[in-house]
Amino acid sequence: MPKQDRRESLTILLSLLLIIVIIFALAPVVLVWLAGSPAQAAPAKTPFPTPTAYVAPVTPEPTGEIPTASPLPPTPTPNPSITVMASDGANVRSGPGTVFEAVGYLAAGEQAKVLGRYADWWQIDYAGQPAWIYGPIVAALDVEGVPEVVPPPTPVPPAPPIIPPPAEPGEIDEEHWIDVDLSEQTLTAYENGVAVRTTLVSTGLPATPTPTGQFRIWIKFRYDDMSGEGYYIEDVPYVMYFYKGYGLHGVTWHGNFGHPMSHGCINLPTEEAEWLFGWADVGTLVNIHE
């Protein structure tokens, strides 16, 4: 065998021996690895879910109605009322003034619903009918929006068939009374025969004279509307009528006292009319003379 062939055979033999050695060396390792690996379990069968019926959601049928919002709570309604504060109660009258007849009575502490107002008087609901009560002797509640109402016509007492003639001051025997001197354009208040206050006034013009004689105040108004031929004046202050529509009252439209200026009434400065209004009563004598 040639030398070269022997070398090749030897090389092949050595290679085979090396492979065998490697196989025997790795065999234990492979056996150990195979022994440590867990057996792979067969996959479990997953049961199919039991089929259930499909239920579609119920949609409400349209009604055609537009939904409405919840109503707001009602606003409290004012309840205008009066409570009688006078300890001896108060008369309820058919109109706003003491000349109107008394139709009832409310004791101290009693209440009534307010319907309206006029000047110093409240119109109230009395036994289901409108009536009147004097404001300064009651306490009023929630009356800011109470309307101004037109009072019933003022009853005018019939004119006496004969008007007593005027008298001299010394001839009059009254506790307190009023004297009006047309010549001097003055008014004097007397108390127990003594003059307690005197002021200039303006009485009727020649075409509309002030009547003369003895009269008595028959009604008083803190404010009153006065009208006649060619004039209409609202809220005339401190009016005291003594004969038909003739009265003593304050004025705001002139200051020419001491001179005739009126349609027959007796005009006073407003501050003097206020004093006289508080001093005189219904029934006070008014003596008017030249």
> pTM score, two decimals?
0.54
Cβ–Cβ < 8 Å for 246, 211: yes
Query: Does residue 185 sit in the same domain as residue 256?
Result: yes
Lowest mean pLDDT among 111-115, 161-165, 189-193: 161-165
Lowest mean pLDDT among 40-49, 156-165, 261-270, 275-284: 40-49
What would the pLDDT profile of 41-67 be if each residue is shown by its tens digit? 445 555 555 555 556 566 666 666 666
Q: What range does the domain containing 110 cover? A: 81-141
Query: Does residue 96 sit in the same domain as residue 208?
Result: no
For residue 142, report the phi and psi dihedrals to the nearest 5 degrees: 55, 45
For residue 27, report the phi and psi dihedrals to the nearest 5 degrees: -60, -45
Residue 280 lies in a domain: yes
For the chain, the domain total comes to 2
Cβ–Cβ < 8 Å for 149, 115: yes
Q: What distance in Å separates the CA atoms of residue 244 and residue 266, rounded to the nearest whole number?
A: 13
Query: Does residue 173 sit in the same domain as residue 216?
Result: yes
Task: Taking residues 185-193, report their average pLDDT.
Answer: 97
What pLDDT is attached to residue 18?
A: 75
Residue 245 lies in a domain: yes
What would the pLDDT profile of 21-37 be if each residue is shown by its tens digit? 677 766 666 665 666 55
**3 state SS of 259:** coil
Query: Does residue 124 sit in the same domain as residue 225?
Result: no
What pLDDT is attached to residue 233?
A: 86
CATH code at position 88? 2.30.30.40
pLDDT, averaged across the chain = 85
CATH code at position 201? 2.40.440.10
